[in-house]
Amino acid sequence: MAALGWLTPRRRPATARSVLAGEAAAEAARKSSLPDDQSSATDQDTSVLTATEEPPFPVVGDDRAAAFFDLDNTVMQGAAIFHFGRGLYKRKFFQRRELTRFAWQQAWFRLAGVEDPEHMQDARDSALSIVKGHRVSELMSIGEEIYDEYMADRIWPGTRALAQAHLDAGQRVWLVTAAPVETATIIARRLGLTGALGTVAESVDGVYTGRLVGEPLHGPAKAEAVRALAAAEGLDLDRCAAYSDSHNDIPMLSLVGHPYAINPDAKLRKHARALDWRLRDYRTGRKAAKVGIPAAAGVGALAGGTAAAVALHRRRR
């Protein structure tokens, strides 16, 4: 039974390595973020709102507000690291045995619908060993191709619309993910987002060493990354929003004034309902008990689910 230990998620507090990982992710995100003038912001004077009126959300022109989106199963179906592994296999970075391992990990992720820290760590260890000795620029170039091949058609339209609503309001939007920061940055750029907070792999003279800076950006480390970025960018977390599907991201969701559960796992759904957080599920097109979606997202966003996801949901009910 010990071999199945990774099947059980383990909650843990932030550690020194979590803080280091978060600070490294925030620094990398700021270096790679898009300039503010690429947003479609328009200024709006919100001072005329009375105390009895609920302000629109997201608030147009609020430059101290931002949105933070988890990636795997929130913005994109499946896990980015697994799709990246498929692309590397196609380019003969590793052998069939490792591909089988990646395929099993992806199958588990899709069936379970949740992230397990030890399971995800195992996948990242595999990826680190594969990229060791390769140049960062080489993997960035390949990552662009892999996005087109395996990721572009897996973006949830509903979540993408939520992100666009923040952008249209002139707010910055960041991905926050345990995926490599280089991969996350490519996805953020392709979606027109501000930037990405991701796991930072150590490199020397532009070559990967096979080690991480701190630890994977997961759980408490995500919260530390958001906290560090907010401090550096002058953001007011009470005015910010965060979106995730996983209970592992409760530390990050709890940091902001506007937490959203997107395609939530059972534990996050229960937690969100208890705290009256907003819910949205794009896997089946059904609305959750409390819907908090900007009008700009549109009714058409509900078409984000796939037939396979619907079938899987029906089997699991």
Which residues have a catalytic role annotated? 70, 72
Spatial distance between the Cα atoms of 261 and 272, rounded to a whole number of angstroms: 7
- CB atoms < 10 A from the CB of 91, how many? 10
Spatial distance between the Cα atoms of 81 and 210, rounded to a whole number of angstroms: 15
Give 269-277 contacts, CB < 8 A, sequence gap 24+. Answer: 271/247, 277/253
Q: Is the dihedral of CA 102, 108, 113, 119 positive or negative?
A: negative
CA distances from 31 to 35, 40, 94, 192, 215 (A): 10, 21, 31, 16, 20
Tokens linked to 300:
């058409």
Per the listing, tokens 């572009």 go with 152
- CB atoms < 10 A from the CB of 98, how many? 17
Spatial distance between the Cα atoms of 153 and 150, rounded to a whole number of angstroms: 7
Closest CA to 84 of 177, 215, 158, 220: 177
- CB atoms < 10 A from the CB of 230, how many? 20
Per the listing, tokens 């609920």 go with 54
Backbone angles phi, psi at 196, to 5 degrees: -145, 140
